[in-house]
Chain A
Amino acid sequence: MENAFGQPQNIIVLGGSSDIARAIVKKLCAARAHTVVLAGRNATLLDQASAEAREYGATKTETVLFDAMDPSNAVRTIAECFAKVGDQVDLVLIALGQLGDQRHDENDASAATGSAMVNYVWPVAALAELRHRLVEQGRGRIVVLSSVAAVRVRRSSYLYGGAKAGLDRLCDGLADSLEGTGVTLQLVRPGFVRSKMTAGQKEVPFTTGVNEVAENVLRGLASGERVIWSPPILRYVFALLRHLPAPLWRKIDR
């Protein structure tokens, strides 16, 4: 069960080997989380993340393998995760994502579709199943890792940003649909985060590490705010950037 500070005991992470997810899981385990189910595609990385979770206080960890390129496995994957928790699920963190190689993928229909699959379609399928299960359960929290890239899509990463934008906007409506069900959905919009997904990319202002994102997420779980920005100042930065004239926007996005 989750407590008054939004500290969960039983958690599921979809995209469990992502660096941001691992940082969040560590902090959750240091608080109250004791059962952790990590789902992803790389068994070795998931095992590493499981070991880390136990090191930080989890007493039961399980892994589930799935391929996010195939949305038809989402229902089965979620069912497996719930079965492995074996109790009520307090928190589901959706952390899968793939940045891809924009310059290559933008002229390749199959690669472009792949980005949409991992970043949008699979999560949408998962959300439908999660919604159904958690509403039935009478409580629970969904936390979806979006990105500031979803707030205003950039030329340099529009395949990723566009898919995230779709997910981000969909979650807004989904969160509204959950009012009065005992289930809540929160979006996380981090800025540029140093991680293996962004390795080799040029850093921008307000770049943070994964631990700062995790810190802000835990704070957001306690406060219950609908959108968790990391760092928090990006809420205001992007309030401006969203409305920047297009030529200027293109200029800073290089």
Chain B
Amino acid sequence: MSRQVLYGWGRTASSVAQVVTASDEAAVASILATSPHVVARGLGRSYGDAAQLSGGVVLDNRELGGIGDISDDGVVTVGAGVSIEQLLTRSIPQGWFVPVTPGTRQVTMGGAVAADVHGKNHHVDGSFARHVLELRLVTPSGPLTVSPTTDAELFWATMGGMGLTGVMTSVTIQMLKIETDQVLVDTDRFADLDAVMAAMAEGDQRYRYSVAWVDCMTRGAHMGRAILTRGDHAARSDVPTPQLQAPRAAKIAVPFDAPSGLLNPLTIKLFNEAWFRSAPSHRARQAQSLSTFFHPLDGVRDWNRLYGRRGFVQYQFCVPDDAGETVVEAIRQLSASRVPSFLAVLKRFGASNPGPLSFPMPGWTLALDLPVGPAKLAGVLDDLDELVLGVGGRLYFAKDARLGPDKIRAMYPRLDEFLRIKHRVDPENRLTSDLARRLHLVGT
């Protein structure tokens, strides 16, 4: 047990909490029983304040390990503190891939469920929740097994519930069969946003994986120029030497905080330019490793330090299918404001799931990395909130570090339903977080 300063991946708004570990369900239950306020924390990859709790107890879940045998049909039970990297290291050689992965392998199972993470295959396979068969959840009312058929409402409240329904100890998921550790990737370059969005709307259904990188710094005719990469797992017959190799750990690390301002409009513009030009205008069926395709940033450890001491925020929103022009308008406002933003990620979402706080909805999602610093940034993002809300869209809790409480009910109209379920298992609101307090998710 130790007092530690904690912050999210964006390295903003830190706070101090008692950090404790637990390696089994009984230990988790005892921490929950003796602490007035608790939240679980995994690898700290949520960008804002979701996995911190000032003055409270933060349960580091990484000792909740253990990877069970993967069954013949790809079902595996994994400790909530096991990372996607650890799971892949075990599963890829056996021909299994995680059904959904975000842009990093450094996410625990507990974190993946709590944030109901999505990946490049959301338009086809949905978010992480769809592949969860069952989980063990320690609530202040006791440990429970929940699944879509056993206590379905608690199960779905936990998917995307930001850890506010209990502390997960293990998760049972359905893995995806793969024949090789390669992905066949089609790459296309587009000179503007309309073109890439049209291509995605028209062709994404033909691919399991699809994502576009958008340049938000270029104004005028080439506003929102983009690189679209789409693909699927390579079959044995697709590659000359089929292999099933586990991912390798990062070789490069950022050893210290870069000066704030290293990532400024000029350097970001140069980077975006180089990135755009490095992509071919069209290339089909290029074989890439799983790591290169899914987790390019995992190659550099602690890359968030590049943003310096002030840190950065990620702004990720989704809007319904018929509000595609909102994406265009958001990028227009951002490029007009001249606030520097790194390559943005644009993706199509498929169907949403029954989770009352789950983020994805059918339509579009855009994620932007923005260094903290420019005085106008706060106002620019407040304006974007209005834009997103105006078309029935919302922001992603796992990324947010700056919203106020006033827009939450409009973004998540089923919050009261969530709170009713939470109250059933956590009547004293023991499970809370800095995020939950900031957004008044569990009352103040």
Contacts and interface: CB of A to CB of B under 8 A. Distances in A.
Given A5-B377, A223-B373, A224-B309, A88 B13 contact: no
Interface stretch (A70-78, A136-144, A153-161): A136-144
A5 B403 CA distance: 10
B16 A4 contact: no
Contacts of A135: 16
Contact of B401 (A3, A9, A137, A218): A3
Contact of B55 (A9, A136, A218, A222): A136
B104 to A, nearest CB: 20
A4 B12 contact: yes
A43 to B, nearest CB: 27
B437 to A, nearest CB: 5
Contacts of B313: 4-5
Contacts of B404: 3, 9, 32, 34
B278 interface: no
B16 A31 contact: no
A2 B438 CA distance: 7
Contact of B372 (A5, A34, A136, A181): A5
B378 interface: yes
B17 A4 contact: no
Interface in B247-284: 260
B402 interface: yes
A223 B378 CA distance: 12
Interface in B18-59: 48-49, 54-56
Contacts of B14: 139, 182
A3 B309 contact: no
B15 interface: yes
A247 interface: no
A31 B14 CA distance: 20
Contacts of A180: 5, 16
B13 A222 contact: no
Contact of A224 (B48, B310, B375): B310
A88 B378 contact: no
Q: Which of B3, B54, B310, B402 has the most CB of A within 10 A?
A: B54
Contacts of A5: 12, 313, 372, 377-378, 402
B213 to A, nearest CB: 23
Nearest to A2: B13
A136 B56 CA distance: 10
A7 interface: yes
Contact of A7 (B260, B402, B437): B402
Contact of A222 (B15, B17, B378, B403): B378
Size category of the B interface is 20 to 34
B360 interface: no
B5 A182 contact: yes
B111 interface: no
A224 B402 CA distance: 16
A3 B13 contact: yes
A54 interface: no
Interface in A1-23: 1-7, 9
Nearest to B378: A5
B323 to A, nearest CB: 26
Nearest to A224: B310
Contacts of B434: 1, 139
Contacts of B237: none
Given A3-B438, A222-B375, A138 B402 contact: no
Interface string A193-222: 000000000000000000000000011001
Nearest to B404: A32
B10 interface: yes
A138 B15 contact: yes
Contacts of A4: 10, 12-13, 48, 311, 313, 372, 401-402
B55 A137 contact: yes
Contact of B437 (A1, A34, A219): A1
B444 interface: yes
Given A32-B404, A138-B54, A219 B438 contact: no
Q: Which of B16, B49, B377 has the most CB of A within 10 A?
A: B16
A6 B378 CA distance: 10
Interface in B65-86: none
B438 A1 contact: yes
B398 to A, nearest CB: 14
Contacts of A219: 375
A4 B378 CA distance: 9
A253 B54 CA distance: 47
Interface string B404-443: 1100000000000000000000000000001001100000
A249 B37 CA distance: 56
A88 B10 contact: no
A2 B437 CA distance: 10
Nearest to A223: B310
A138 B2 CA distance: 13
Contacts of A139: 14-16, 54-55, 434
A9 B438 contact: yes
B41 to A, nearest CB: 14
B444 A7 contact: no
Contacts of B444: 86-87
A88 B401 contact: no
Given A2-B438, A9-B405, A139-B14, 5 more contacts: A3-B438, A9-B404, A136-B55, A139-B434, A223-B260
16 contacts: A3-B402, A4-B13, A4-B311, A4-B313, A5-B372, A5-B402, A135-B16, A137-B54, A138-B15, A138-B16, A139-B55, A139-B434, A180-B5, A222-B372, A222-B375, A223-B310
